[in-house]
Structure 1
């Protein structure tokens, strides 16, 4: 993604990130935020369709966000132009994520809409797909982002 709303092109794609999922992190996240048995131990997961310890979907979303922010930090001006998000659409957890998986992301700009009431910004919808080491999608979501327009040049 480029820095300013005007620079964003519908259809633009990006591939980024590398996140190695650890057992300790899966259990730590679940213990604090999603303490279901299949997120806490292999024994708790054994009688389920997971069969072994699986990461919480919310944890998968958090790992995706960590990769997204790291990508933003690699690109000059992107953090300056981002005004956050107003929500997400169509969040889907497609496959379980397990300790030892290595995740990455792919994104595509779906739509951009200038704000009618605030000319200093616009809304951008971005589809992000989280993919594991087997090139299998594990999660998709559409972020609804608020992005600043290019500031007026005082010169």
Structure 2
């Protein structure tokens, strides 16, 4: 298990890829973001995207899954916030998204010596290494000692 003390600013992790299907895009869109370019392949052809694309929120949710899968060995307790969320280009059916995560800041908790905070820059890249999504997320992480 990696605790606060084990994490170094500059550490980088890379996830495996996740390929999104047309049916996943339309199911998510119908349930959570029912805009035609997420739910209707024909209507999406006349959109600014020129075809069916995943909701940005679905893209963010896939990144969350990839982050959890690559951070199972960290003593993370909870997320506390996301900043600078940007969607750079849409995720299309058949695209494979992978997550690159870099620790950019860490600080001990002022109120609880049993935890600290990590901030990471996350970049979701497609199969062509093009930036799809980026954001910074801060999480609480357990400390191994009560320094």
Q: Same fold (TM over 0.5)?
A: yes
TM-score (norm 1): 0.90
Helix, strand or coil for the counterpart of 1:17?
Answer: coil
Shift of 1:151: 4.4
Match of 1:31 in 2: 30
Q: CA deviation at 1:45?
A: 1.4
Aligned counterpart, 2:15: 16
Aligned to 2:110: 116
SS for the counterpart of 2:48 is coil
Segments of structure 1 that go 5 or more residues without pairing to the other structure are none
Q: Distance in 1 between matches of 2:10 and 2:71?
A: 18
Distance (whole Å) between structure 2 residues aligned to residue 64 and residue 138 of structure 1: 11
CA contact (8 A) 1:17 1:68 kept: no
Counterpart-to-counterpart distance in 2, 1:147 and 1:22: 33
Structure 1 contact 124–144 (Cα < 8 Å) conserved: yes
Runs of 4+ aligned structure 1 residues displaced above 2 Å come to none
CA distance in 1, matches of 2:29, 2:41: 13
Kept in 1: contact 2:13–2:70 (CA 8 A): no
Which residue is 1:54 aligned to? 53
Q: 1:96-153 deviations in whole A, cap 9, x for unaligned?
A: 100000111101001001111111111110001000001101000101110010046x
Report Cα offsets for 1:55-89 as digits up to 9, x if no partner. Answer: 0000001111111112123x3xx2xx111111100
Match of 1:3 in 2: 2
| TM-score, length of structure 2 as denominator length | 0.95
